[in-house]
Structure 1
Amino acid sequence: MVVFWAAWCGPCMRMVPHEKKLVERMKGKPFALVGINGDEKREKAKETVQKNEMTWPSFWDAAERPDGPITKCWNVQGWPMIYVLDAEGVIRYAGHSDEKLDALVDELVGKLEKK
């Protein structure tokens, strides 16, 4: 799961508790959450990660905020932006909400665990 987020993005920050629970629930399973941060200052990103105890890796991508090179590559049009990829790297979800993510992640992880 790839999540484009920033401290200035209210909806992004409201998703953090859900992301924390998801990461904890998926511990030891074939799942990874990777953040891509769009804050203008790298220090702000680091501070936000520490304050919110975001344990997953997050890359700072604000060279040209809000359209850094990673953001441009992924064609992000709004924040937050969430992508769920399967084991083959196929994007199975692209959107701005976490409403149905758990079911999709559970389904994809379940398929991997059965292999």
Structure 2
Amino acid sequence: MSSSPPAWIKYTLLSFALLAVAGGFAFTISDKWQPAPPKEAVIPSNSVPQSGNLEGLAAPAFTLKRFDGKVVNLSDYRGKIVFLNFWATWCEPCKEEMPSMQRLYQKMQGKPFEILAISLDQGGKPAVDTFLKQAKLPLTFQILHDPDQATSKKLYHTTGVPESFIIGKDGKVIKHVIGSYEWDNAQITAYFEGLLKKI
């Protein structure tokens, strides 16, 4: 898992900083960030569609169930920043990044921010429960299930896990992130804080 913020964080935060200075306030940004190669577990498939660049486009709508049976629609979170994460229990990079996702989620409590972690496991709830118990991960963000990978591959064109999509308050994809990261480090947290300040 990369602990160094990737280039997309650097450039986005720089934009936020310039806007902040223009408005009479600013925050500090490090100029020593180096993007690190992400870790990703590839999903083998002979029929994966060509990756489409969804950035700037409306995030594909989906309806999935949580493991408690509750139905979740992406449209329910319009007006919030959504951190959409595709993962699987057999994915070591997913296991590495999940604690930092939980810490980020806790930092963002009370703000218009949501994490939707979509499991691709065919083993369903038993597989996920076993994984979380063995990994000792007390996650409080929502975990959804996409067993046939219709949402991940057909709608979001993922080719591996973890892959994440940052979705803006307007429902458009801001960023597609491949691989695992330390999501609660200072720079990435500032990135999300900057998104939250945007109308």
Q: Does 1:3 find its partner at 2:85?
A: yes
Tell me: CA distance 1:11–1:26, structure 2 relative to 1, closer, same or farther (3 Å). same
* Aligned pairs, number: 108
Deviates more, 1:40-49 or 1:80-89: 40-49
Aligned residue identity for 1:61: D
- The answer for the alignment partner of 1:87 in structure 2 is 169
Pairwise CA RMSD of aligned residues?
1.7
CA distances 1:36-87 after superposition (whole Å, capped 9, x unpaired): 1012201112333454111111111123xxxx11112111112100111110
Q: CA deviation at 1:104?
A: 2.4
Out of 98, 110, 113, which is 2:197 matched to?
Answer: 110
Out of 108, 122, 138, which is 1:53 matched to?
Answer: 138
- The answer for the alignment partner of 2:127 in structure 1 is 44
Out of 86, 102, 125, which is 1:20 matched to?
Answer: 102
Q: CA deviation at 1:97?
A: 3.6
Deviates more, 1:22-31 or 1:72-81: 72-81
When the two structures are superposed, what TM-score results if normalisation uses the length of structure 2? Answer: 0.50
When the two structures are superposed, what TM-score results if normalisation uses the length of structure 1? Answer: 0.83
Bigger Rg, which one: 2
Deviates more, 1:31-40 or 1:94-103: 94-103
More helix by share: 1
Kept in 2: contact 1:35–1:56 (CA 8 A): yes
Kept in 1: contact 2:85–2:116 (CA 8 A): yes
| Structure 2 runs not aligned, ≥5 long | 1-82
Kept in 1: contact 2:94–2:180 (CA 8 A): no
Q: Does 1:69 find its partner at 2:156?
A: no
- Structure 1 stretches (4+) deviating beyond 3 angstroms? none
